[in-house]
Chain A
Amino acid sequence: MAFIDIKKLRKAYKGAGGHQVDALRGLDLEVDEGTFLGVMGQSGSGKSTLLSLLGGLCHPTAGTVLVDGIDLYALDSERLADFRREYLGFVFQSFNLVPYLTALENVMLPLAVQSMPSTDKRQQAMKVLDRVGLSDRGGHLPNQLSGGEQERVAIARALVNQPPLLLADEPTGSLDTATSAEIMALLRELNEDGQTIVMVTHNVENQAYFDRILVLRDGQSASTDINAVPLVTNFA
Chain B
Amino acid sequence: MNLRTIALNNLRRRKSRLAFLVAGLLIGVATVVTLLSLTRSLTMEAEHKLESFGANILITPKSDELSLSYGGITLGGLSLDTRELREQDLARIETIPNNRNIAAVAPKVLGAVKVGEARVMVMGVDPRAEFRVKGWWNVDGRRMTAEDELVAGSRAAGRLGLRSGSTVLLDGHPFTVTGLLRETGSQDDDLLIATLSAAQRLLHKEGTVSLVEVAALCGDCPVSDMVDQISAALPSGKVSAIQQVVKTRLHALEQFKAFSFGVAVVVLLIGALVVFVTMMASVNERTREIGIFRALGFRRSHVISLILMEAVSVSLLAGILGFLAGMGVTRLLLPWLAQGHPHLVWSPALAGGSLLMAVLVGTAASFYPALHASRMDPTEALRAI
Contacts and interface: CB of A to CB of B under 8 A. Distances in A.
B297 A57 contact: no
Given A57-B378, A92-B292, A92-B384, A84 B297 contact: yes
A57 B1 contact: no
A33 interface: no
B1 A105 contact: yes
B249 interface: no
Interface string A100-143: 11000100111111000010011001000000000000000100
Contacts of A82: 297, 299
Interface residues of A, number: 38
A74 B207 CA distance: 100
Contact of A81 (B292, B297, B385): B297
A96 B381 CA distance: 11
Interface stretch (B4-12, B69-77, B185-193, B351-359): B4-12
Contacts of B294: 57, 81
B171 interface: no
Contact of B299 (A52, A81, A94): A81
B202 interface: no
A201 to B, nearest CB: 13
Contact of B10 (A78, A88, A100, A109): A100
Interface string A40-56: 00000000100110010
B205 to A, nearest CB: 87
A105 B378 contact: no
B286 to A, nearest CB: 10
A233 interface: no
A86 interface: yes
B184 interface: no
Given A55-B295, A57-B295, A122 B1 contact: yes
B385 A48 contact: yes
Contact of B384 (A81, A94, A121): A94
Interface string B342-385: 00000000000000000000000000000000000111001011
A88 B302 CA distance: 18
A145 to B, nearest CB: 15
Interface in B175-230: none
Main secondary structure of the interface of A (DSSP, over half): helix
A88 B298 CA distance: 12
Contact of A101 (B9, B296, B298, B299): B9
Interface residues of B, number: 29
A78 B300 contact: yes
A77 interface: yes
Interface string A64-86: 00000000000001100111111
Contacts of A81: 294, 297-300, 302
Nearest to B14: A100
Interface string B153-193: 00000000000000000000000000000000000000000
B299 A98 contact: no
Interface in B242-301: 288-289, 292-301
A112 B6 contact: yes
B88 interface: no
A85 B297 CA distance: 4
Nearest to A98: B289
B296 A84 contact: yes
Contacts of B12: 100
B16 interface: no
B385 A90 contact: yes
Nearest to B294: A81
A86 to B, nearest CB: 7
B82 interface: no
Interface string A147-184: 00000000001000100000001000000000000000
B288 A105 contact: no
A169 B385 contact: yes
A112 B6 CA distance: 8
B385 A52 contact: yes
Interface of A: 48, 51-52, 55, 57-58, 77-78, 81-86, 88, 90, 92-94, 96, 98, 100-101, 105, 108-113, 118, 121-122, 125, 141, 157, 161, 169
Given A77-B300, A84-B295, A88-B297, 19 more contacts: A48-B384, A57-B378, A81-B294, A84-B297, A85-B298, A90-B296, A94-B384, A96-B288, A96-B384, A98-B289, A100-B9, A100-B10, A100-B13, A101-B6, A105-B5, A109-B6, A109-B292, A110-B297, A113-B299
